[in-house]
Amino acid sequence: MHIFQFLNQRRVRVNWPWVAVMTGCLVCAKVPAQNVSTATTDGTATTAASTNPAPTYLRDVQPIFMGSCSRCHNQQSRFIYDWLDYRTAYADRWEIRRRIWDSWKGSYYKEAMPVANSPESLALTEDERMTILKWVDNGGLRGVPPPPGVARSKTERIAQGRRLFTSICAACHQPTGRGLPNVFPPLAGSDFLNADKNRAIQTVIFGRQGEVVVNGLKFNNSMPSFPLNDQDIANVLTFVYNSFGNSGLEVTPDEVKGLRSQRPVPSGAPASSGPPAAKSDFE
């Protein structure tokens, strides 16, 4: 059973050791914090959050939530708040601040939010924490969406994609692209990725749940879908394809656009529901 089904059925506070068991977590408590440096989707590196006195949600905070919180806090999880939604995050901003800040400093009675089976939130950097703190203290501004990463060449696409990778994907797939055993599959030299470009694009558009075998290793987890536009997805996948020993393909915004309507059939679901489905080799 999937964790969110479980949470939706039982409208109760969650017992963490239980969740760890339910999610099949094998490396829970022991994953060391990683130093994932951050960048915003508009291309400005924010490694020094201190130089950015007024972070906004859309430019600075949402990318952090995408990488570090959205595996659990997303649109599909009805019981747990969706931090990718501005209004929800705004309404609960003080609790977010407490969880990622005070609790981390040890002064809060609850577990720090980086709890069992969330290596990506454990990997929050001091800069990211500071960005969220300042965002809350300055009134939780929404801001404007960063402009889409328009690229005029493959080289530009890769450069833009690298920044997105660092700010979002690296929280889970790791800065090296090698993933984490049993939790996050590798993108580095991934046979799954290199075998089928359309399937890789759909993975990033729609997210992915359930079992997947990458380079002979089984993973059974969940990747959320991210609020990224066609350019961003093209850029980040082109970066991934041109890094970590992968095949060097380019992904264009048109290809991404063309696949948006073709949601893959989840395994076990009737093929007739929803919009026209892609070939069911998605599993």
Give the residue, chosen from 40, 46, 52, 117, that forms a contact with ligand HEC under the rule CB under 6 A.
117
Residue 112 token pair: 């720090």
Q: Does 221 bind ligand HEC (CB under 6 A)?
A: yes
Other Cβ atoms within 10 Å of 78 Cβ, number: 11
Q: Contacting ligand HEC (CB under 6 A), which of 36, 61, 84, 100?
A: 100
At closest approach, how far in Å is the CB of 94 from ligand HEC?
Answer: 9
Structure tokens at 209: 């749940």
State yes or no: residue 190 binds ligand HEC (CB under 6 A).
yes
Binding marks (x or -) toward ligand HEC, 54..93, rule CB under 6 A? -------------xxxxxxx------xx----------x-
If one asks whether residue 168 binds ligand HEC (CB under 6 A), the answer comes out as yes
Q: Phi/psi of residue 213, each to 5°?
A: -110, 120
Is 186 near ligand HEC (CB under 6 A)? Answer: yes
Burial of 32 (0-12, 13-18, 19+ CB in 10 A): exposed
How many CB atoms are located within 10 Å of the residue 164 CB? 28
Closest CA to 168 of 226, 116, 112, 220: 226
How many residues sit in the footprint of ligand HEC (CB under 6 A)? Answer: 51
Residue 179 identity: G
29, amino acid identity: A
Residues contributing to the site for ligand HEC (CB under 6 A): 13-14, 67-73, 80-81, 92, 95-96, 99-100, 113, 117-118, 120-121, 124, 168-169, 171-173, 184-187, 190, 192-193, 200, 203-204, 208-210, 212, 214, 219-223, 226, 236-237, 240
